[in-house]
Structure 1
Amino acid sequence: MDRTFRGFTAGFIGAILMNIWSYFSFYILNFTDIRYVDWSSIMIFGYKANSLAHLFIAQMSQLIWTGFLGVFVAFAFTLMTSRGFIFKGALFGFMASFIIYCVPALFKMNALRNVTLGTAVTDIVGGIIWGVTTVIILKYLDSREVLY
């Protein structure tokens, strides 16, 4: 498994946990009003998913996109030591959530620009969950890599 594949795998697994948090915050805590799948759906279709097919495409796109972000984390980690890797993962996750918030502002997407405090907190916590999970999985996959 090469670095790209390990990064994608780690990012994808991190995204699953991040989405579990998003669904929990939406359905159980009633804290957020926009799930990650809704962000993806609005970015792709211009509106929240209104069918199972839309929901499937939006969710898979979000998971694949976040897996892709894991590739960047994997290559960034080749440029630094593994000391404090959990903190670094949390920082990557926080920054990813912050940068992604800039997209709706730049493209004037009103459905995503005006979010509640609960949504913002959910997304930041989700980003940190993603970052920490991604680096833990990446470190595990790196340790299992056999060099020939």
Structure 2
Amino acid sequence: MEDRFVQGSIAGLIAGIAMNIVNLILVMVFSFGEDLLVNYAAEMLLGSTPGFLFEYIISFVAHIVWTMLLGILFAYMILIVDSSYMLYKSWFFSITTWFLLYSVGILFEVPLLEVTSVSTATSNMITSSVYGLLLGYIFMRLSHNPE
């Protein structure tokens, strides 16, 4: 596959779905953290956490589109910094994005981010790490880059 835009969006899509699955398991099965990632998307999109199934679906789709956009940005960023150490760079990209989004959320007083527990922040950092590592791995596979 030669199209960098498509490679990035597919990698972001798959990594984003995996990220949401890991988040769901951490929060719902292990009670590690209080908020699902879909809640953050709903807060930004709807102004509140989802209450109905349709709101969850719309928020999930919005979050996946966001992860696809991040995948596209990563795909083009790699042109600038080169593709060696891809997994490290993709992990660093995702952790930096996680930190920046938390910071912006606190600055703009997004309700779910104003005060958050250590377990929720750690859970989101773990899911961001999963996203970043999968993003880099899938992007490498799609671009046939063995590095």
TM-score (norm 1): 0.92
CA distance in 2, matches of 1:65, 1:80: 22
Question: Once the 2 structures are TM-superposed, how far is the Cα of residue 66 of structure 1 from its aligned partner?
Answer: 0.8
CA distance in 2, matches of 1:70, 1:46: 25
Question: Once the 2 structures are TM-superposed, how far is the Cα of residue 105 of structure 1 from its aligned partner?
Answer: 1.6
Q: Find out whether 1:96 has 2:97 as its counterpart.
A: yes
Count of residue correspondences: 144
The aligned residue for residue 20 of structure 2 is 19
The aligned residue for residue 139 of structure 1 is 140
Map 1:43-122 onto structure 2 (within 5 A): 43-122=44-123
SS of the residue corresponding to residue 50 of structure 1 reads: coil
Question: Once the 2 structures are TM-superposed, how far is the Cα of residue 110 of structure 1 from its aligned partner?
Answer: 2.6
Give identity over the alignment, percent. Answer: 25
Matched AA of 2:123: T
Q: Which moved more, 1:5-14 or 1:101-110?
A: 101-110
CA distance in 1, matches of 2:81, 2:94: 17
Query: How far does the alpha carbon of each residue in 1:63-94 deviate from its partner, in whole angstroms, 9 at most, with x for none?
Result: 01111010010001112333211111111110
Matched AA of 2:111: N
Q: Find out whether 1:6 has 2:3 as its counterpart.
A: no
Tell me, which stretches of 5 or more residues in structure 2 are unaligned? none
Question: Once the 2 structures are TM-superposed, how far is the Cα of residue 47 of structure 1 from its aligned partner?
Answer: 1.1
CA distance in 2, matches of 1:78, 1:109: 33
CA distance in 1, matches of 2:92, 2:56: 29
CA distance in 1, matches of 2:104, 2:43: 12
Matched AA of 1:128: S
Matched AA of 1:7: G
The aligned residue for residue 128 of structure 2 is 127
Question: Once the 2 structures are TM-superposed, how far is the Cα of residue 48 of structure 1 from its aligned partner?
Answer: 0.9
TM-score (norm 2): 0.93
Question: Once the 2 structures are TM-superposed, how far is the Cα of residue 112 of structure 1 from its aligned partner?
Answer: 2.2
CA RMSD of aligned residues (A): 1.3
Tell me, which stretches of 5 or more residues in structure 1 are unaligned? none
Matched AA of 1:21: V
Question: Once the 2 structures are TM-superposed, how far is the Cα of residue 5 of structure 1 from its aligned partner?
Answer: 1.1
SS of the residue corresponding to residue 47 of structure 1 reads: coil
